[in-house]
Amino acid sequence: MADTDSVKEAKNFYHDIPQKNEAFFLKGLNSYDFGMKNRMSKIFNPKSGHTVMLAIDHGYFQGPTTGLERIDINILPIIPYTDTLMLTRGILRSVIPPTYSNGIVMRASGGPSILKELSNEQIAVDIEDAIRMNVAAMAVQVFIGGEYESQSIHNLTRLVDAGIRYGIPTLAVTAVGKELNKDARYLRLACRICAELGATYVKTYYCTEGFETVTSSCPVPIVMAGGKKLPEKDALIMTYNAIDQGAAGVDMGRNIFQSDYPIAMISAVREIVHNGMKPDKALDLYNSLKKA
Ligand code: 5RP
């Protein structure tokens, strides 16, 4: 029989203090359950509300692209500076130390290589493997206006359904084919379709005119893709502008890992994304760190 002699009678239930009911820090995600929000909090820093994701998934259609020839040598030294890694399950299993405890966003679509029609993707990961690998989100490419537009949207909605079943967010990546303009009108269309169809958050490109209309018309967070390698100064200006115009972070690849000084570059990007550093100061930081 349990010993009840020492149980104290006087208890304080603080009945005059209402229980706090705080809104989740990322827009549009309040109605999700704990698991989904907990995983999103592994991707986005709850203090700044922002994220620096390092995208290294390019090999899934490009093979060993410049800067990703040896992920163990080129990328592992950078990962302590990331909030989240975006990568394939192949690289995750074969190269990334399981001690990496920040968010993992697993590339979950694939199929064609650069030699074929890129929009002809299928879902390339079983939800069980995403769970087994303890990922924070799954990423799927969406080709609005592309040849296999509907198929790619179907990939998105199937992943969203599977993810919701287990509390795993889905990142919709708006792919921009060679023939498509990356203007605000197109990006608004693509991002909004992804959000309407259930994406937990959306990755898209920056456009110089009207990017704030892309972020404001998308009801869930947007992260900016880096795109092709730019001079560091230009990439830092683009990062600043994207955050200033409503992006909740970056999911950047080549502008970090193809930089001559990737750690200096990601450190400068972090200062902009998390602390609002102006681009000229961030460039000074990059230049000072590259000398160190
Ligand atoms: C491929 C992707 C890449 O992750 C994306 O392109 C980000 O990398 P980068 O900054 O090099 O463009 O989603 O479709």
Mean confidence (pLDDT) of the chain: 95
| Structure confidence at residue 179 (pLDDT) | 59
Q: Is 110 in the pocket of ligand 1 (CB under 6 A)?
A: no
The average pLDDT across 138-145 equals 96
* Model confidence pLDDT, tens digit, residues 182-207: 899 999 999 999 999 999 999 999 99
Q: How far is ligand 1, taken at its centre, from the CA of residue 175, in Å?
A: 9
Q: Is 112 in the pocket of ligand 1 (CB under 6 A)?
A: no
Pocket residue to mutate for ligand 1, from 142, 223, 254, 256, most atoms within 8 A of Cβ: 254
Active site residue 203: yes
Structure tokens at 14: 């603080």
Q: Which residue matches tokens 């830092």?
A: 236
Pocket residue to mutate for ligand 1, from 173, 201, 206, most atoms within 8 A of Cβ: 173
| Structure confidence at residue 235 (pLDDT) | 98
* Model confidence pLDDT, tens digit, residues 220-260: 999 999 999 999 999 999 999 999 999 999 999 999 999 99
Backbone phi and psi for residue 203, each to the nearest 5 degrees, phi listed first = -110, 130
